[in-house]
Amino acid sequence: MKKFAVMFMIGVLFVISNITVNAKTINEADTELCETLKYALIGSLREPVDKAIVEIYKGDKNVPEGLTWAAYDTEILNIKQLYGVGGLYELTIKIYPYYRAHMSYGEDEVVINTMGELISFKHLKTYP
């Protein structure tokens, strides 16, 4: 009986001292985690978006020099999962190209995938 009591007390001690530890994501940015992930995703796809801007405005005689865009001023319109969780995703984003000190020049819709491929683009509006 004494042996059983000792074993029981040791078992209870192990159960009580078993502390669950959960990992916490460390966010070292000035924004909430969701916004930080959005900016990181958009920023990682800068190359195909730059390519789309060149293609969209190549026939425009009035396009200003140095036309660019900003990740913080980009809207994600749709995220389409193509093959399953963790597979390829297709993003539809709206960008607002600008020149010089953030002087807006237009609105465009760009479709890219997470492999960095430009799928399609559509010019929506040019500002005067």
> DSSP string covering 55-123, please?
HHHTT-TTPPTT-B--GGG-EEEEEEESSSTTS-EEEEEEE--EETTTEE-EEEEEEEETTS-EEEEEE
pLDDT at 44: 92
pLDDT at 84: 80
pLDDT at 113: 94
Q: How many structural domains compose the chain?
A: 1
Domain of 62, in residue numbers: 47-128
pLDDT at 20: 65
pLDDT at 102: 86
pLDDT at 83: 86
Residue 85 falls inside a structural domain: yes
Residue 33 falls inside a structural domain: no
Residue 3 falls inside a structural domain: no
Residue 32 falls inside a structural domain: no
pLDDT at 23: 60
Kindly give the parts of the chain with pLDDT less than 50: none
pLDDT at 47: 96
pLDDT at 101: 87
pLDDT at 32: 79
Residue 20 falls inside a structural domain: no
Residue 97 falls inside a structural domain: yes
pLDDT at 22: 65
Residue 113 falls inside a structural domain: yes
Q: Which residue has the tokens 């999962």?
A: 81
Residue 65 falls inside a structural domain: yes
